[in-house]
Amino acid sequence: MSKATGEVKEKIMAKGIVEYLRFGLREVNAEIIELCNRYGIASAKDMEEKYERGELEEEDTWRDFFKLSHLEERKEILEGLLEETSVE
């Protein structure tokens, strides 16, 4: 009986972890979309290109650039963790 209960507990824990990762990914995606919409870009790379072309002033936007870059890295990590985590 305790073995069966342990297996169920492990499955519940695994599903909880997956949901936690999905929630984190949704939050990160929402922040990325907000920043991209603010500057009319699709990524931190696009923002950097706008800096290079002189279409965007770094003085007022550099914090958002670094935040976006960090969020994109975090998104990749969360997506990787979700891929590694499998729940039957």
**Digit-coded pLDDT (tens) for 30-49:** 999 999 999 999 999 999 99
Maximum C-alpha span of the chain: 68
- Compute φ and ψ for 54, nearest 5 degrees: 75, 20
- Mean pLDDT over 63-85 rounds to 96
Give the model's pLDDT for residue 85. Answer: 86
Give the model's pLDDT for residue 10. Answer: 83
Reported confidence tier of residue 9, pLDDT bands at 50, 70, 90? confident
* Cβ-Cβ contacts under 8 Å for 21 (sequence gap 6 or more): 78, 81, 82, 85
CB 72 within 8 A of CB 18: no
Q: Domain ranges in the chain?
A: 2-83
Give the model's pLDDT for residue 3. Answer: 63
